[in-house]
Amino acid sequence: MGTGKVILVGAGPSGRDLLTLKGFSALQKAEVVVFDRLVEQDILDCIPITAEKIDVGKQNNHHPVPQEQINQILANKAKEGKNVVRLKGGDCFLFGRGGEECEYLFENNIPFDVVPGVTSAIAAPAYAGIPVTHRDFCSSVHIITAHARAGKKLEIDFESLVNLRGTLVFLMGLSALEQIMQGLLNAGISSNMPAAVIENGTRPTQRKVISNVLEITEEVRNVGLKSPALIVVGEVCALSDKLDWFAKQPLYGKTVVVTRPQERIGTLSEKLRRLGANVIECPCIQTVNAVDENIFKKALTKTYDYIVLTSPAGVSAMITALEKVGKDIRVFYNCKFAVIGEGTAKELKKYGINADLIPDIYDSKHLADLLVNSINHQSSVLILRANEGSKELTTTLSNANIDFTDISTYKTEYCCNKVEMLKDMIKNNSINVVTFTSASTVIGFVNSIDIDKYNNFTALCIGEQTAQKAKSYGMNTKVAKNATIDSMIDVLIEEDNNV
């Protein structure tokens, strides 16, 4: 077995939006990922399920895994022939000890690559409306670590920094904010020099204080900013209010939990993030393809006029079920397709099939009514859906004396890997909205979280059936006007504008 390789990847300052494409590619191929404290969960979610995850997160003055041991972990895993990713917050080589790790690997004859990351020193000010250079104010930027060993004074040449007349960015310096400002004042900087402190830079939970060198320490203390935070000093800080694009996004400041299945979570999550929301991906259900092959084979001996699909997951489950019995989509030649909504229609379109019937309101009742009103009552219908599908569909067809066969092609399982985190956030009123795209996501959420009350957040539901299930648990609900992801987002934006 040959020696593997270590790839140092800068994860950037926050979520996957600021992870480089090369970094994402490295993660996708990783067999082992060794990661730090400040790496966001949605980046960790990009790691393959099969990869070994090793948390070596270090907090200020508390290092659960010493640097020497981290070096050994990287080397040992590579010697096992593994493809190892060392995932570091921000950029690998900016105050992140990446150089030390590479030296150790070099000394042990272990090959390594480096994938630079976006640094918070540039990104956080940008997200706060502060360009670190501007030809009307300065032509240089200087990045300084303001982290001192416990019990020791800062070793910063403040006089040289002041004489540079550039923008100063201090990392890891919140606990030393007063010392930094006093050091700059003692070195002759103007007391009116604009200054900024940015907490959780580039994250949807970002907060900032804009002031001047003389007054910013007290103002930060009054607001209660906490680590991680960085400090910016320079004339460019005066541009913050004018150029602050991030805080003006329509969902900025809202924390939204998305409960869709993992394979379908991305569409809603990405749209919410683009609008400034703090998104927590928490799949509460998963779909598992499961069909009784004998029953399905027997069902396929009949001729059908309509195939009915009640979810996007049902489309891929149909294809898988056909493959299991040695068939493909051609068995439904001359059949028409009725689907519950645009999402299902879009999924069906991937297989070259246009949906023939889509109800105006995307739920089982309206799909059933559309079928009854649109098809010849001598027609035969094949329903392919989850094992616990809505009874409204089959009851309506039965009452109309329409011949149908109801086949289960997949089942829904309840799951949640962030239970304790969500419980704490709900308890602390830290969640604004939980999105539900089906009644099963409501059930999965409730079964997983299992708390006494669910009334301190808004349950944003894709349709009335989902809302009814949410209301049964005492949730405060909002319902999309149309049962689509975009309509759900519209409700959020309208609510925010009305506050």
To which residue do tokens 């670190």 refer? 132
Is residue 36 annotated as part of the catalytic site, yes or no? yes
Mind spelling out the 3-state secondary structure of 465-479? HHHHHHHCCCCEEEE
Cα–Cα distance measured from residue 366 to residue 386, given in angstroms and rounded to the nearest whole number:
18
Cα–Cα distance measured from residue 391 to residue 388, given in angstroms and rounded to the nearest whole number:
9
Q: Are 185 and 191 in contact (CB under 8 A)?
A: yes
Residue by residue, DSSP assigns 159-184 as HHHHHHTSEEEEES-GGGHHHHHHHH
Task: Dihedral sign for Cα 255, 257, 262, 264, please.
Answer: negative
Catalytic residue among 53, 58, 297, 327: 58
Q: Are 241 and 218 in contact (CB under 8 A)?
A: no
Residue 289 burial class via C-beta count within 10 angstroms: exposed 0-12, middle 13-18, buried 19 and up: middle
Cα–Cα distance measured from residue 169 to residue 157, given in angstroms and rounded to the nearest whole number:
14
Pseudo-torsion of CA 462, 467, 469, 475, nearest 10°? Answer: 120
Residue by residue, DSSP assigns 197-262 as EEESTTSTT-EEEEEETTTHHHHHHHHT--SSEEEEESGGGGGHHHH--GGGSTTTT-EEEE-S-G
Is residue 79 annotated as part of the catalytic site, yes or no? no
Q: Are 171 and 146 in contact (CB under 8 A)?
A: yes
Cα–Cα distance measured from residue 86 to residue 102, given in angstroms and rounded to the nearest whole number:
11
Report the side by side order of strands in the sheet with 229-233. 141-145, 167-171, 229-233, 194-199, 207-212
Catalytic residues: 36, 58
